[in-house]
Structure 1
């Protein structure tokens, strides 16, 4: 099933959405609402897809998933974990006009499919996959929800960094998938990659790190600590800005980015 015209807002391979799987969504709302000024609304009309997706749609449990808004525009989602064994984590989703075709290319390129594409009510279709080193990412084929209503500003998605053990493997895999949209000429500058040992212990598994924009990195770190989060990596400079890595009050890692 091809996506609607809404998918034209994001070219294939562009990060278009993020969500967090949390043990306690109300606690997540309090944390991120104060940290980034987000407000929240429930997703409507997608209950039938929630169990299959396990993500940014209303939950079959008593606690629904919510969409985070910044100045009234969608920027992220918070979803309850369906299984205590699942990680508490932020996931980045890449846009695609055809999730089924992309899944085929992922397998051919040496990746694996974790969750085959499923419909999420009227919003679109989604799945989860992993690259050859095991870094997990999402796929999003847009229906009525193309993705971010805001990005590249304080309180919104600003960057996704892949921390890989072998950057040559990452370059080859994602270039095959997205035709050089990520690392080649004309890149959107929304996605980069680096050796995992640049920031984390060498034994850390390869993973994606979602970055949110901030005006003052050091000031935001104080708020993170006050709200019960912690600092994983103190501020450091990168080619794309001034970054610190933190966890929220439930253990989900993310980065803050000051351009």
Structure 2
């Protein structure tokens, strides 16, 4: 069942989104060669709690950390640990927090040090652009398929591929609510978008083929062909006048 949010709900979601945005910016700025992925988790946990939030990822279906850190061919759900980030690594950070009963969720990708090549830089640029193409399509009167189509068309026009196995989602009192929000699809199809709908749009884009597999840890998803993958995400609220980004980073 899809729950439409009230104006009061939106204000609470703004607070959660602000916490996520602030902490995600700190994490982005902290990424550097020589840092371990566990150190990013320590920062995430501390800074979310310092702002009055609760790390929503920690303990979610048994997930052991407060942030997901996925490196290079890792697409999503990378578990922070002893891995040392190297110069040129592509680091994707996915973060969620609960504040006053509502959840914010966002992700970004960044290079540690110098990017390996121009094609990798293009992958990040196109993935972030695709996120905003999807957001622009998330307006009342459109349908879910319009969001996925906007993302997919932009990605594939640059020779990259959209992951099918993981999609965006509704969000509110829970991190994952209905509806699912694929990053691919056909225009004019799917659920009608109405004011009050809160969703997380999150393109995961591979340099090679879209196929992924999950490692033995049960969480970390990697590209099957070991190509690079990038990930960007925002929580948005669809209002009468269109989408509002609740997790915008200044």
TM over 0.5: no
Q: Which is richer in helix?
A: 2
TM-score, normalised via structure 2 length: 0.31
TM-score, normalised via structure 1 length: 0.30
Whose RCO is larger (CA < 8 A, sep 6+)?
2
Q: Which is richer in strand?
A: 1
